[in-house]
Amino acid sequence: MAQNSFTHHCRQEADTVALAQKLALSLDHLFRADPSVHLNISLEGDLGAGKTTFARHLIQGLGYEGRVKSPTYTLCEPYPLIIHGKTLAMNHFDLYRMRDPLEWQEAGFAEHFDEPGFCLVEWPEKAEGTLPTFDVEIHLIAGTDENERNITFQANSNQGMIIFEKMCI
């Protein structure tokens, strides 16, 4: 796939789950090939669009077996990503409750944007452009039916394009 964006229509929650699992598989390939990689992925969309649901299945799709709760109050929840016996980091952010665009830096989270693994960020717009650039942007938009969603993926880097190619959509 040579395009840097595509939209997937999800008729029901299971379709969103399958899409998150495909992304997990693609990220797994990438980290196995190079465990020093760092990626930034954004999740955008209204409240209830399915950002946390997508994040949960992505994180669990990468082998985390515990509960993935919304980081609404903590701003960031870290999860281990085990690749070839080494621990990389999956950091799941929800910036909705930030009172200041730089609160994520004041809370000491900047270092997470360099470490091997990836950052997954809900509500990046609350940081008003102060975050590093995103390799992949994911937008979730509700459809007309209650369980329907249109999910758009956009790659902004070569790494993002490689991820899309491996997703086999």
The residues binding Mg ion (CB under 5 A) are 51-52, 70, 122
Residue in 23, 31, 41, 50 binding ligand ADP, rule: CB under 6 A:
50
Evaluate whether 113 touches 86 at the Cβ level (below 8 Å): no
Contacts of 37 (CB under 8 A, 6+ apart): 30, 31, 116, 159
Nearer CB in complex with Mg ion: 50/117: 50
Nearer CB in complex with Mg ion: 27/140: 140
Q: Where does this chain touch ligand ADP (CB under 6 A) — which range of 29-37, 44-52, 105-113, 155-163?
A: 44-52
Say what angle helices 13-33 and 51-61 make with each other, to 10 degrees.
Answer: 40
> Cα separation of 6 and 4, whole Å?
7
- Binds 147: which of Mg ion, ligand ADP, none (CB < 5-8 Å by kind): ligand ADP
CB of 76 to ligand ADP, least distance (A): 15
Q: Which residue is nearest to Mg ion (CB)?
A: 52
- Binds 49: which of ligand ADP, Mg ion, none (CB < 5-8 Å by kind): ligand ADP
48 sits near ligand ADP (criterion: CB under 6 A): yes
23 sits near ligand ADP (criterion: CB under 6 A): no
Complete edge-to-edge strand list for the sheet that includes strand 117-122: 5-10, 149-155, 136-142, 38-44, 117-122, 86-94, 76-83
- DSSP states of 123-166: -GGGGTT-SPPPSEEEEEEE-SSTT-EEEEEEE-SHHHHHHHHH
CB of 61 to ligand ADP, least distance (A): 14
Nearer CB in complex with ligand ADP: 50/117: 50
Q: Where does this chain touch ligand ADP (CB under 6 A) — which range of 25-33, 51-59, 84-92, 153-161?
A: 51-59
> Residue length, the chain?
169
